[in-house]
Amino acid sequence: MTQHMTARCGSLIRDLRRQNNLGQAELAERVGTEQPAISRIERDVVSPSLDTLHRLFEAMGLTFVIEPVRIQDRVPGGGNQTVGELRSDFQDLTPEERLAQAAHLSEAATSLAASAKS
């Protein structure tokens, strides 16, 4: 049985497409699909397979790297906790605490995005 991995990355694709001054229709043409398919990916209605993600990046002149990280290693790109510590912290939370944490992080991200635009 073949397992297909997918990724929810609509905002990333949209941001990269805009940075490359591409419309959805132009990106779709480069990838060999239709504009509504790009719209569905960007809105996270559908999650692209890794193969589709690769084609999208390639159509924008980019590539991406998937790299395994050991649980005892620090988080790539910085941070002072290991992946295992972060997972443990999250697993110790109740569902309500997880939702509250997600809401807080969403508010922080929204605030950062708003300040970056001004």
pLDDT per residue, tens digit, the chain (118 aa), is: 455 555 678 999 999 999 999 999 999 999 999 999 999 999 999 988 889 999 999 999 999 888 787 777 777 776 777 777 777 777 888 888 888 888 887 887 788 777 777 6
SS3 82: strand
- How far apart are alpha carbons 107 and 110 in whole angstroms? 5
Full-model pTM: 0.59
Let me know: does 102 contact 94? Beta carbons within 8 Å: no
pLDDT, residue 7, reads: 62
pLDDT, residue 34, reads: 96
pLDDT, residue 69, reads: 76
- How far apart are alpha carbons 54 and 33 in whole angstroms? 14
